[in-house]
Amino acid sequence: MNLNRLIRRNRFKNRPKAESPAWQWPKFIADWRRYARRAALAAITMTALAGLTWALDRPVRVISMDGSFQRVSPGQIENAVAPYAHAGFMSADLDGIQRAVEALAWVDHARVQRRWPNSLHVTVVEQTAAARWGESGLLNTRGELFVRAAAHVPAELPRLSGPEGTEAQVAQRYLSAQGRILEAGMRIAALRLDERGAWEMDLDSGATVRLGRRDVDERIDRFIRIASQVIAHRMSEITYVDMRYSNGFAIGWRSGSQTPASAPAKHSDDTDA
């Protein structure tokens, strides 16, 4: 018999068989115990927190507040907070209280805080009326209509008006122009946008500045730079200043006459005339 062939056969026969993995029972038990300990610790922690919350959730005894309170009364704030205060110190819905306070007409925004041991503190910032809208509406400095029918409208506020939904547009134009008009020695008493999209501006002297529908910002700039210099010393005699010309303007006097300035051409938007 060939010895080399026998050795090769024995080499394959004698190779040990691969052992199948044995079930590691002790490791499974150790892992299970570790997970169980973690779950028990989490449950104990949550139970402790729930118990602490319950222990601290004492009735709210005090509602304190601060703010200017020129248009909003402390009584209104208390009434807005009252439905939420019964929930307890820890369970009181601070976001709900904030929304209830901010729903009051003259409140711009509010902040609500818990104060140990049994108090809720409300900080109120009131709206600032920048202009009136129509007869009795009020706009804030962002051009938002926050009161539609105010019982008291400050007489010094300018009156803005326009079609439904144009409050922000009219307010933005007023806010962009008022500073420059003041620097020119005048004040805007009213600003109007009509249904056709034409603009008019009343000055505190009683004169109306007709701005038309097109290039309104450029016409305001031209009025401030040029026309205001011409009429500065005769404001009480002027009924209107018509800026709806391509290269000039016209002045209407209280006597009934009209004086063109800078040789005005025809209206650049004839439908406004």
- Give the CATH number for residue 82: 3.10.20.310
Among candidate residues 71, 100, 126, the one where a domain is terminated? 126
Q: What is the 3-state secondary structure (H, E, C) of the chain?
A: CCHHHHHHHHHHHCCCCCCCCCCCHHHHHHHHHHHHHHHHHHHHHHHHHHHHHHHHCCCCCEEEEECCCCCCCHHHHHHHHHHHHCCCCCCCCHHHHHHHHHCCCCEEEEEEEEECCCEEEEEEEECCEEEEECCCEEEECCCCEEECCCCCCCCCCCEEECCCCCHHHHHHHHHHHHHHHHHCCCCEEEEEECCCCCEEEEECCCCEEEEECCCHHHHHHHHHHHHHHHHCCCHHHEEEEECCECCCEEEEECCCCEEEECCCCCECCHHHC
Q: Are residues 243 and 183 in the same domain?
A: yes
Among candidate residues 75, 97, 126, the one where a domain is terminated? 126
Residues 176-202: tens digit of each pLDDT: 999 999 999 999 999 999 999 999 999
pLDDT band at 6 (very low <50, low <70, confident <90, very high): very low
Question: What pLDDT is recorded for position 273?
Answer: 47
Q: Are residues 240 and 200 in the same domain?
A: yes
Residues 164-177: tens digit of each pLDDT: 999 999 999 999 99
Full-model pTM:
0.70
Residues 82-131: tens digit of each pLDDT: 998 888 888 899 999 999 999 998 999 999 999 988 899 999 999 999 99
Residue 21 has pLDDT above 60, yes or no: no
Q: 33-47, 147-161, 230-244 — which is least confidently predicted?
A: 33-47
Domain around 200: 129-272
Residue 127 contacts residue 146 (beta carbons within 8 Å): yes
Q: Are residues 146 and 200 in the same domain?
A: yes
Residue 22 has pLDDT above 60, yes or no: no
Q: Are residues 97 and 230 in the same domain?
A: no
Task: Output the six-digit token pair for 67.
Answer: 């703010």
